[in-house]
Amino acid sequence: MPKDMSYMYPLFPIICFITILLTFFPVPAHWKAGNIATVALAFWIIGGLIFCLVNTIVWHGNLRNPYPIWGDITCAYTVMVGPAIGSCILCVQFRLWSIARTKRIFITQKEKRRQKWVTYLLCLGFPILMIPIHYVVQGHRYNVYEDLGPLYTTHNVTLAYGIFWILEPIVCLIACVFAILTIRLFLRRRKELDVVLGSGSNVNKDSYIRLLALAATAIVVHFPLSVWLVIVNAVAY
């Protein structure tokens, strides 16, 4: 870690606050449309930004540890947020791919319920599962960094790569595959897709393209970052 990161203050907390507001702005529309994965993605990002905002203010210029429980909560959330964002993107891409390949205008209630449970499992269940997985390779409670606050620690051992570090890139890679398949289907079946999206679905053509662009952008940013983290730790190993 850099020895001095005071240059981030107060610009970084201000940017975090503005980004929280901008991220929350489209949430009501997606909630109304029933886009669970998109709403979950927004709230996971907002939560991460809130922790960054609070920690960069509380730990500005000091290494104190006044709130150990807050440190535990921060580290648990930090463990979850990366895989959570990846799994939410995967859900969005999977839904877009499902729409792109469908030949039916309506889906049954049973299929809707199944889609909801799969979404809840990936957007909530998988990130929560990361906490006990990380506990297996956790070095100690956490480290406190000046101007950043508490961050989780991981034993840099082979087991950590097999059960922890590799999971996030795998999820992002699967999302990349679905993104490519979705774009391919979208270009091949554009006329049929226009009929499906214009048939009273809660995702119209404009929303579909925006969601596709959002998920693709998130993959372009998130996948290289997750791979970079694995490479950095592997080099340190």
What are 91-143's pLDDT values in tens digits? 988 888 887 777 655 566 777 788 889 899 999 999 999 999 999 999 889 99
Q: Give the predicted TM-score (pTM) of the model.
A: 0.87
Residue that has been written with the tokens 């409670």 in this structure: 141
pLDDT 10s digits, 183-213: 888 777 766 666 666 655 556 667 777 777 8
Sign of CA dihedral 167, 168, 170, 174: positive
One-letter identity of residue 60:
H
pLDDT at residue number 233: 80
pLDDT 10s digits, 149-192: 999 999 888 888 888 999 999 998 998 888 888 888 877 776 66
Q: What are the distances in angstroms from CA 9 to CA 1, 28, 55?
A: 16, 31, 11
pLDDT at residue number 200: 52
CA torsion, points 114, 118, 123, 127, in degrees to nearest 10? 140
Neighbouring-strand partners of residue 152 = none
Element (H, E) at 145: strand 143-145
